[in-house]
Amino acid sequence: MKRSSGVVFAISAAILALSFALPAEGAGFTTCPVRFATGLPCFSCGITRSIVHISNGSFDRAWHFHPFGFVAYAFLIAGAAVPLFKHASGLLDRRPVKIVAWILIAAFGVH
């Protein structure tokens, strides 16, 4: 597994693992710098809780917090699976891995 694939896998797998461990009702504080500074939610506020609720099987609550959480969750699964398949088969191009990595950075880099 190349270094970039390993990084994408590690980040995706860590976020997915944390989503099972984090409390669904929230930690009691905000991690969003925009909300912390202004008191107003940013465009991605609620995605973390949405992902946590998806991991816990509460799909209606996940949709309530942020509908994009389902898309982000799919990218996390892809980010964990694509490098494994690439390593196992050697058939995949590096481009999909880079696309997933940039999407993850864009989606979770703020929080």
Name the 3-class secondary structure at 76: helix
| Maximum distance among all Cα pairs of the chain, rounded to whole angstroms | 48
The distance in angstroms from the start CA to the end CA of the chain is: 28
> Whose CA is closest to 96, among 104, 70, 88?
104
User: Tens of pLDDT along the chain (111 residues)?
Assistant: 566 667 888 888 888 998 898 887 777 777 778 888 898 888 888 888 899 999 999 999 999 999 999 999 999 998 888 777 666 555 545 566 667 766 766 666 554
Number of residues written out for the chain: 111
- pTM of the predicted protein model: 0.70
Instruction: Report the amino acid identity of residue 41.
Output: P
